[in-house]
Amino acid sequence: MARKLSDRFVDAMPLLDNAAESLRRVVAPVVGESSPRAIKDLLVGTWLGHPLHPAMVQLPLGCWTSALALDLAGEETASDLLVGIGLASSAGAMVTGAAQWYDATNDTRPRRLGALHAVVNTSGAVLYSASFIARKTGNRSAGVALSTAGLAVVSVGALLGGDLAYDLGLGVDHAAFEQPPAKWTDVLADDELKPGKPVRVEVGGVPVMVLRRDDGIHAIGATCPHLGGPLDEGEIDGETVICPWHGSVFCLTDGSLLHGPATAPVLQYETRLQAGKIEVRCLDNREA
C-alpha cells in the first residue's frame, strides 16, 4: 500500500530534527517542563476540557478564506481588514499549537511532522504579512497574489495538522474509548495491596490504578489521557498522582484533572472489600 505523503516527507527530511530542536528552545520558557503551570494549562486547554489549539486555528483560516472571497467580490476594505485580523489571531494559533506539540517531541514522527507543520504555517503567515504591507502601500495586485499563495500554503499546513491529530493522536484523549464494566469486579487480594504503593490491574481489559491510603482504597483510570502515560508509575503527592511522562496531575479520589497538559479527567472507580478481595466498579465521571 502506498505510504502517505506526510510520512514520506518525515522520513526524507531528517533536517526537520534541527528545526524541531530550535523551535523547542524558543517555546520552552512558555510551554516546557519548567514553564508556569497556569500558562501551560491555559495554552493547552486544560480549563476548557479539550485542546485549545483547534479552536484557535478557526479564526485566521476563516478570516483568510473570507478575505479571498471578498477580493473576488471587489470588497477591498473588508478584505484588507480580514487579512489583518487573521494575522493578529495567527499568533494565538501558533503558541497553542506549540504547547500541544512540545510534549510529543521525543518520538520522531510527531517531532518532525510538527516542525514541518510549524514551518509551513509560518511561511503562510509571512506571505500574509507581505500581502498586508503590499495592500497598505497601494500595490493591490501583488497583495492579492501574495494572500492567495498564503492561503494555499496554510491549507497544506492544515492537512499536516490533521495528520498530527488523527494519525499520531496529538490532542486526542488516549483513554476516550475505555469502557470498563459497571458491575463489581474483583481485581486483587487485599493483602497484595501495600499502603502507598499503586498497583496496576485490568478491569474488562481497561487498566486501573489501585492505591491504599490512610483514608481507604482508591481506584482511578491508569492511562493518562494526554499521551497515554502510566499513572501507576507516577508520583503520589498528597491526594494527587502526577503522570510520569509529562506531569499532568489527577485527583486520587475522583479522577478529576487538576493540571495539564492533559485536558480530560480519568475514570473514577468505587472500591470495596469482599471476602478478602478488593473489588472495583466504574463511575463514569467523564459525562459529569
> What is residue 285's predicted lDDT score, i.e. its pLDDT?
57
Clarify whether residues 158 and 189 are in a common domain.
no
Tell me if 174 is assigned to some domain.
Answer: no
Clarify whether residues 159 and 206 are in a common domain.
no
Return the CATH number at 256. Answer: 2.102.10.10
Tell me if 40 is assigned to some domain.
Answer: yes
Tell me if 11 is assigned to some domain.
Answer: yes
Domain housing 207? 185-287
* The CA-based dihedral angle spanning residues 172, 173, 179, 182, taken in that order and rounded to the nearest 10 degrees: -160
Helix, strand, coil percent content, the chain, rounded in steps of 5: 50, 20, 30
Tell me if 175 is assigned to some domain.
Answer: no
Q: Is the predicted pLDDT of residue 288 greater than 50, yes or no? A: no
Cell for 168? 499520531
Q: What tens digit of pLDDT does each residue of 163-218 get?
A: 999 999 999 999 999 989 889 999 999 999 999 999 999 999 999 999 999 999 99
> What is residue 24's predicted lDDT score, i.e. its pLDDT?
95
Cα–Cα distance, 267 to 182 (Å, whole number): 12
Clarify whether residues 71 and 40 are in a common domain.
yes
Coil, strand or helix at 212? strand
Clarify whether residues 54 and 143 are in a common domain.
yes
> What is residue 13's predicted lDDT score, i.e. its pLDDT?
79
Domain boundary among 113, 140, 167: 167
Q: Is the predicted pLDDT of residue 239 greater than 80, yes or no? A: yes
Number of domain units in the chain: 2
Cα–Cα distance, 83 to 78 (Å, whole number): 9
Largest CA distance in the chain: 84
7 — pLDDT class (breaks 50, 70, 90): confident
pTM of the model: 0.89
Q: Is the predicted pLDDT of residue 284 greater than 90, yes or no? A: no
